Structure 1
Amino acid sequence: MKQYPIKKYLYSLTGVYQILRITLVLYILAFILKLYNGSDVSSMLVVTRGWSETDAYWTEKSIAIFLILLAVWLFIKPVILNTFLLMVFLIINAIIVYENAGRHFYELSFLSAMAKWVLPLLYLSVYLNLKKPDSGFVPKWLFFLTRFSLFLIFFVHGLGCLWTHPGYIDYIIGTLATFSGSFMKQSIAENILIFIGVVDVIIAILVLIRPWRNVLIWMVVWGLLTSFLRIVDAGIFNYTEFLIRVPHFTLPLVCLLLYKIKKPAFTK
């Protein structure tokens, strides 16, 4: 088998497929770990539906087992059925989290989750495109789908910053305290947050208009940084929050690679 240099491998649909493959597995793993440790599902079943704690517990663990099997199936071969099942789970989970939260700003989490609903579809699309004779070409709709996902992620994050999300303020103050030992006034943190929000919204609009290389690189770096802050702020045991945000920096990377691939030729 011919060996390709790493750069040439990445700038191919095969490389994009592998990145999406790893992203999807890590993303599903985050849900599995959340279910294993106790999630909003059991709370909803007990509080809202009146289930016993035992029934809710085993239901939650059954869903976790289902996701493990689904992750293995998707890793081996994505098909319409397993893609559809994962998308349905993500939609239902987002609704449960939204309804069970009972607090402001969770509509933003619901909108942000919409961007990840297309992740399984994107994964399947790239896989099917690899099977075609002209697999070196990238469909326009596939490229736009990736950009629209990025738009949702960064636009929603920007709105949260502009609305001075309390959790984001805590991240700023907590991160500064962790690294410097000093404490920032909340008013200063709010001003920083508003500035970040403006930048995020601008970046989101730019990627929807045209995927400039520097914009995508910024998204990769910023997505990785904000995801990693979940661990910095709350400790290593908050790793599930990092895993669930892996698409925040891998999707911009995928978009960057697709943009490179599409330059020689771009299907209609």
Structure 2
Amino acid sequence: MKTLANTQKIHYSLRIAAAMCFIGHGSFGVLTKPIWCNYFALFGIDTVSSYRLMPYLGSIDILMGIILLFKPFRAIAAWLVVWGIITALCRPLSGEPFGEFIERAGNFGAPLCMLLLAGGIQFNTRWLFSTIDSGAPVDERSLTRVKTTLQVIVFLLLAGHGWLNLLGKPALL
């Protein structure tokens, strides 16, 4: 049996975490969560249209998560970072506490760390459409960036969770 290197274990942990996050949230879209209508309203989309769009957007999230599991294109991971930030920001922009945003740092944190582990982010077509190689060597600088980013992400998750708990969010009690 082949043993994975530590960096490969980190890669697969981040890859699975990012994929499951978007598959899970995509499932909520397919199931049409009523509170999401508030987020669509930020873009001028009415309730009826929101309910029609949710399954499509949810399906895209699920598809992106599945693709990431089987073929980790950098473009998919980059999209998940951007989409994760946008959707997390919709919460405070729609009137929910800012803690709702920071609690969701993991939604964009896992794919961000995946990209950092793979050498960072570049903005060119060749980079975007290449896949992340789980077996590629990882330099010390990239590992340090991932470690620091993960520490910040975990801090934000815990701070956001604590903040919402202090506010008495029913789902957390």
TM-score (norm 1): 0.49
Aligned match for 2:36, one of 30, 33, 41: 41
Structure 1 contact 46–52 (Cα < 8 Å) conserved: yes
Partner of residue 96, structure 1:
90
Aligned residue pair count: 159
Superposition deviation, residue 62 in structure 1: 0.8
Superposition deviation, residue 165 in structure 1: 0.9
2:40 counterpart letter in structure 1: L
Q: For 1:164-243, what aligned pairs fall within 5 Å after superposition? A: 165-167=166-168
Three-state SS of the structure 2 residue aligned to 1:49 is: coil
Partner of residue 157, structure 1:
158
**Could you report, residue by residue, the CA deviation over 1:109-156 in whole angstroms, capped at 9, with x for unpaired residues?**
312334542321322444546453xx2x54323333333332343256
Partner of residue 28, structure 1:
22
Partner of residue 73, structure 1:
67
Q: Which runs of 5+ in 2 are unaligned?
A: 119-131
Structure 2 contact 80–111 (Cα < 8 Å) conserved: yes
Structure 1 contact 122–142 (Cα < 8 Å) conserved: no
Q: Which runs of 5+ in 1 are unaligned?
A: 172-229, 234-268
Distance in 1 (alpha carbons) for counterparts of 2:107 and 2:41: 27
Structure 2 contact 116–146 (Cα < 8 Å) conserved: no
TM-aligned CA distance change 1:27 to 1:146, over 3 Å: farther
Three-state SS of the structure 1 residue aligned to 2:98 is: helix
Structure 1 residue 142 and structure 2 residue 137: aligned?
no
Partner of residue 60, structure 1:
54
Q: CA RMSD in A?
A: 3.2
Q: Which of these two proteins has the greater Rg computed from alpha carbons?
A: 1
Distance in 1 (alpha carbons) for counterparts of 2:53 and 2:86: 15
TM-score (norm 2): 0.71
Structure 1 contact 115–150 (Cα < 8 Å) conserved: no
TM-aligned CA distance change 1:139 to 1:112, over 3 Å: farther
Distance in 2 (alpha carbons) for counterparts of 1:159 and 1:90: 16
Structure 1 contact 35–60 (Cα < 8 Å) conserved: yes
Distance in 2 (alpha carbons) for counterparts of 1:33 and 1:117: 17
1:92 counterpart letter in structure 2: I
1:81 counterpart letter in structure 2: A
Superposition deviation, residue 66 in structure 1: 0.7
Percent identity, please: 14
Structure 1 contact 116–149 (Cα < 8 Å) conserved: no
Which structure dedicates a bigger proportion of its chain to helix? 1
